[in-house]
Amino acid sequence: MAATHTKCRGKYPGDVDRFAVPDDKVSWSVEWPEYKPVDYTAPVVEKGPVWADVDFRKVKPDVPPKYNEVDGKVNRKSFTGNYSIDETGVPRNPIGRTGMVGRGLLGRWGPNHAADPIVTRWKRDSSGAIVTKNDKPILEFVAIKRKDCGEWAIPGGMVDPGDTVSATLKKEFGEEAMNSLEASPEEKKKIEEQVHQLFSHGKEVYAGYVDDPRNTDNAWMETVAVNFHDETGEAFGKVKLCAGDDAGAVAWKELTSSLALYASHTTFTGKVVELRNATF
């Protein structure tokens, strides 16, 4: 359990301290009377943007949130199964302690759902031949460099209430890797058409909890990761990559074991490597 729950026990983004949680104290089944997690919800979340819940520990709404269900347009179900509710009346992280209560930078109590498109192609030499290593082909994928932490990541994003994972995959790739938000109406339409065509076939490689540095004891990230593979190198070759709103850079990166990625993204890309029988 602890092996999949490490990034969310380190320094919180923005250099906010957590209560230190050792590996043997992660599980809620371990009694730990001395546990005193830091209570933190980022100011941007406390301001009450449309993508965030209110503080249900302090404000009791007329209609209480429906945890473990689809609550109106908000999906509060978890891929991990039914999660428990703690003594303050909000969800408890099903994987274990993180050293922080509240929501941190996350908007929803409980699961915060995202979608991650993993766009891949084979690495090729100047003659167009597929490059191999250890008798296996090398994969490349579209990666963005996050502005908030400088780490390379999959160009994914949050699933808005009422949106489907499929729609989010297309939207996030267009915004993060093709900068559709700053495109003219004509360019935006062209980008949307390209992405729609490119994303017509995909293979789900992961659906579940994410070991994300933003996680807390009461709010955590979950995602669906889907691989869109260009076997010939012609489809995505026509796409112009351009870093979007949350990206400092965008590039085709080799999928290698030495490439450090944000949150659990190495796990997701590793599943793509296995799926495509590529070298790692």
Q: Which ranges constitute the DSSP H helices of 121-229?
A: 165-177, 185-198
Instruction: Kindly indicate whether the domain formed by 113-276 is annotated with CATH number 3.40.50.450.
Output: no
| Residue 207 token pair | 């659906």
Give, in degrees to the nearest 5, the angle at Cα 267 between 2 and 3.
10
Percentage, residues of the chain above pLDDT 70: 98
Residue of 237 and 132 predicted with greater confidence: 132
| Residue 57 token pair | 């520990």
Residue 245: pLDDT over 80: no
Are 210 and 178 in contact by the 8 Å Cβ rule? The answer is: no
- Domain range summary for the chain, segments of one domain joined by +: 113-276
Q: How far apart are CA 160 and CA 72, in angstroms?
A: 12
Are 253 and 272 in contact by the 8 Å Cβ rule? The answer is: no
Residue 1: pLDDT over 70: no
User: What pLDDT is attached to residue 240?
Assistant: 81
pLDDT (mean) for 231-237:
84
pLDDT (mean) for 1-19:
85
Cα within 13 Å of Cα(166), Cβ side: 8
Separation of CA 34 from chain center: 32
pLDDT (mean) for 192-221:
92
Q: How far apart are CA 183 and CA 155, in angstroms?
A: 18
pLDDT (mean) for 65-72:
97
* pLDDT, tens digit (0-9, with 9 covering 90-100), for 95-133: 999 999 999 999 999 999 999 999 999 999 999 999 999
Q: How far apart are CA 138 and CA 124, in angstroms?
A: 8
User: What pLDDT is attached to residue 2?
Assistant: 45
Q: Say what the pTM is.
A: 0.91
Q: Which ranges constitute the DSSP H helices of the chain?
A: 43-46, 165-177, 185-198, 265-276
